[in-house]
Amino acid sequence: MSQLKHVTIKTISEVTKLSLTTVSRVLNGSAKKYRISDDTQKVVLEAAKKLNYTPNQAAVSLRLSRSFSIGLVVPTLSNPFFADIASIVSHSLRTKGYSVVLMDCDENEATEVEAVKLLAAQNVEGVIVIPSGIDSSHINILIKRNIPVVCIDRYYEDIPVSYVATNHYTGAFSMTEYLIRAGHTKIVCIQGSHSVVANNLRVKGYKDAMAANKKAWVKVVGNSFTQDNGYIETRLLIQKKERPTAIFTLSDTIMLGALKALAEEKLAIPYDISLVTFDNSSYLDFLACPITSIAQPVNDIANISIKLLLDTIKANANGVKLDQMKLLISPSTVYRQSVRILK
Amino acid sequence: MSQLKHVTIKTISEVTKLSLTTVSRVLNGSAKKYRISDDTQKVVLEAAKKLNYTPNQAAVSLRLSRSFSIGLVVPTLSNPFFADIASIVSHSLRTKGYSVVLMDCDENEATEVEAVKLLAAQNVEGVIVIPSGIDSSHINILIKRNIPVVCIDRYYEDIPVSYVATNHYTGAFSMTEYLIRAGHTKIVCIQGSHSVVANNLRVKGYKDAMAANKKAWVKVVGNSFTQDNGYIETRLLIQKKERPTAIFTLSDTIMLGALKALAEEKLAIPYDISLVTFDNSSYLDFLACPITSIAQPVNDIANISIKLLLDTIKANANGVKLDQMKLLISPSTVYRQSVRILK
DNA sequence: TATTTTTGCACAAACGATGTCGCAATTGAA
DNA sequence: TTCAATTGCGACATCGTTTGTGCAAAAATA
């Protein structure tokens, strides 16, 4: 069971009869700075290749006190929105020389606290977090250790971290206005969870748009981002005498439930009732009636977060403290055929 | 700009007037082994707490030559199947003391090779990889470095790594038999990419089931796991004189395309045509007609992979080489209302 | 030829934590 | 009182890198 010994610069040094120093300098690219001759460089490089050398990152990290890694904290990757962000973050950061330590928190706040502590102990150089909950105290662990943080989709009043999010408010506002311009007056909003800031902003956008257009028929129902919620609320809505002319579901999950309820009652979209939603899942195009939806700017959010984090890290390294940034990215609306034009 | 100095065991040693050795022993739990008195322990622990000490992982790694981290290589998290696996892997491994380094390869083989190299350099203790491509040479980098590997969903003939996958063959076979038992004879299979092993196994399952039941009308069309592919092939199929009675799409993406084509031609499921698929996305329940589907055993696959990897790591540490395992997990079928019973 | 300058490389000290040895002081036995 | 055993802790080397400093030999200048 020949335990194959690790190849280190020492190995190479012995093989090439050159000092550790020289080998190190060639291998980490500072050869010209220290005037290592081309011949010597060639010798080292060849030996390294032949021995299949890779530097020991732990040693490098220790010496340089840099980890070359960044933490990514997400509520759960089962949510496509978070998964898409994770996807972009992961391979974008890799091209910039960082590896990504993933922490899936299973939508559990306590788990998130643990995750953050672990990341702090690992000396990650920065953290992108999509918070699962309300509390912010764990983020302070990172702040105290001077680790740059960028939040996605949730804003903390009390701590100075940058954040970037969809502009839920304007998204919902403009979608509601679109319905109003199409002649709808009885527009119902089926919301998700009250404890989610994004939800409340969307609701506010809807309400403000209704108010701005002097619509009296303002109605918000529901309480969770689930298909069941959408199904139940829709069933209740359509069996009333005064049926809404349009339903605005605040997520695609809710929308699916609504769809099922409508199908059961043989109500056709958009003839019998109009339906719009938030999220723009890829399957919307392929439903019996393609559904008009607000699309979260996933790419922008991910890329801006990365840039923000990297800038903060760089500034930090130079002793500069960057101002907190609060970025709201406007979502786009994807118009399909689920809204009936009433006027 | 008071650069707050890192708190190390040295700091604690100075504060407590105890030696580095003693502090270290208390802090890493080997106090009783070295007979450190309770008083001393208390002193150290309190100092550590007050100073908010966390061990430097790089130093620990270097010293112990362990990284406490495991690599996870996925084609892309935009695919919910991979995202779900990543989700489970991430928080399950965390509870076992490992952190997960995520490598999203954007479905690009070259990127995957780079990702694997990076993981090797980081001395991860093991790697779970869902390969993007056919080639296996990069996996050898890990093998050579004695890093345990478990593959998901793809089997390499030429290298001794364990793998676990859905039993695509039996899944497709039994679904096809179900259609046959329901009286269907003209069953078309719309496949995904030929270069994906999973696809070919599913196709084989379909063909074998048809052959086993002496059905002459065997027909496989299509060439990619996309909605467009499903749409185009379905349009072609339904305008022929001899229209199939059932369509078996090999992924939900393909299914969505088929659905669109059927809706455009006002063909109702299951009255005019039956439709079954592979993947079981959560929205299948909420389509106009809920679609019968094969569900990949995501949880089992993820958990078994983890167990396999951890076992291999443990065995490796003891100098034992575990046998390669090849596990095929049978998928389940979720029966909904998209199949018409013809007899 | 003598002196300065440049070229090419090596020594040694870190980074933070762990583990092997060893030594003093305390306790117990004789 | 004496010697052995036990208790409680510290000095030091080490893991694999990087880097400031130093010092020969070669080249350039005088």
Tracing tokens 């009783």 back to the chain, one arrives at: B32
Asked, for residue A311, whether it belongs to a domain, the answer is yes
Is residue A56 less than 8 Å (CB to CB) from chain B? yes
Residue B194 has pLDDT above 80, yes or no: yes
How far apart, in Å, are the Cα atoms of A29 and each of A22, A25, A26, A43, B115?
A: 11, 6, 5, 14, 21
Q: Do A87 and B76 touch (CB under 8 A)?
A: yes
Is residue A259 less than 8 Å (CB to CB) from chain B? yes
Residues B34 and B126 in one domain: no
Residues A180 and A217 in one domain: yes
CA–C1' distance A44–C20 (Å)? 35
Q: Label residue A5 by pLDDT band (50, 70, 90).
A: low
Asked, for residue A276, whether it belongs to a domain, the answer is yes
- Can you read off the two tokens belonging to residue A116? 């953050």
Asked, for residue A94, whether it belongs to a domain, the answer is yes
* A317 interaction partners in chain B (CB closer than 8 Å): none
Asked if strand D comes closer than 7 Å to B213 Cβ, the answer is no
Asked, for residue B273, whether it belongs to a domain, the answer is yes
Residues A142 and A90 in one domain: yes
The whole domain housing A291 covers: 168-296
Residues B30 and B117 in one domain: no
Q: The CATH number of the domain where A98 resides is what? A: 3.40.50.2300
Helix (H), strand (E) counts: chain A: 12, 12
The pLDDT assigned to A33 comes to: 87
CA–C1' distance B226–C7 (Å)? 62
Q: Which nucleotides of C are covered by protein (CB under 7 A)?
A: 7-21
Q: Could you give the angle at the alpha carbon of B284 between the alpha carbons of B280 and B286, nearest 5°?
A: 155
Distance of alpha carbon A326 from alpha carbon B21, whole angstroms = 47
What string of DSSP letters covers B57-99?
A: HHHHHHHHT---EEEEEES-TTSHHHHHHHHHHHHHHHHTT-E
Across all residues in chain A, what is the average pLDDT? 92
Residue B91 has pLDDT above 90, yes or no: no
- Can you read off the two tokens belonging to residue A319? 């002793």
CA–C1' distance B173–D6 (Å)? 72
The pLDDT assigned to A2 comes to: 33
Distance of alpha carbon B239 from alpha carbon B244, whole angstroms = 10
Residues B181 and B141 in one domain: no
Residues B327 and B207 in one domain: no
SS3 state of residue A133: coil
Share of chain A above pLDDT 90, in %: 71
Residues A177 and A223 in one domain: yes
Residues A312-331: tens digit of each pLDDT: 999 988 888 888 999 999 99
Is residue A100 less than 8 Å (CB to CB) from chain B? yes
The pLDDT assigned to B137 comes to: 85
**Mean pLDDT to the nearest integer, B180-208:** 95
Neighbours of A15 (CB within 10 A): 17
Residues A151-173: tens digit of each pLDDT: 998 888 788 899 999 999 999 99
**Mean pLDDT to the nearest integer, A173-180:** 97
Residues 6+ apart with CB under 8 A from B9: B20, B23, B24, B27, B53, B55
Distance of alpha carbon B275 from alpha carbon A145, whole angstroms = 56
Distance of alpha carbon B77 from alpha carbon B101, whole angstroms = 14
Residues B246 and B258 in one domain: yes
**Mean pLDDT to the nearest integer, A128-132:** 92
Asked, for residue B219, whether it belongs to a domain, the answer is yes
* Structural domain count, chain A: 3
Asked, for residue B61, whether it belongs to a domain, the answer is no
The pLDDT assigned to B5 comes to: 66
Distance of alpha carbon B235 from alpha carbon A91, whole angstroms = 37
The pLDDT assigned to B2 comes to: 34
Residues A179 and A292 in one domain: yes
Residues B172 and B288 in one domain: yes
Neighbours of B311 (CB within 10 A): 15
Residues B155 and B190 in one domain: no
The H or E element containing residue B43 is helix B38-51
Is residue A229 less than 8 Å (CB to CB) from chain B? no
SS3 state of residue B152: strand
The pLDDT assigned to A135 comes to: 82
- Can you read off the two tokens belonging to residue B312? 């291999």
**Can you list the alpha helix ranges (DSSP code H) found in chain A?**
9-16, 20-27, 38-51, 57-64, 80-95, 109-121, 137-144, 168-181, 197-212, 227-238, 252-264, 298-317
Out of A91, A122, A123, the one facing B104 most closely (by C-beta) is A91
- Can you read off the two tokens belonging to residue B101? 């380094």
3-state helix/strand/coil string of A188-220: EEECCCCCCHHHHHHHHHHHHHHHHCCCCCCEE
Residues B172 and B284 in one domain: yes
CA–C1' distance A24–D2 (Å)? 60
Q: The CATH number of the domain where B19 resides is what? A: 1.10.260
Asked, for residue A290, whether it belongs to a domain, the answer is yes
Q: Do A260 and B72 touch (CB under 8 A)?
A: no
Asked, for residue B342, whether it belongs to a domain, the answer is no
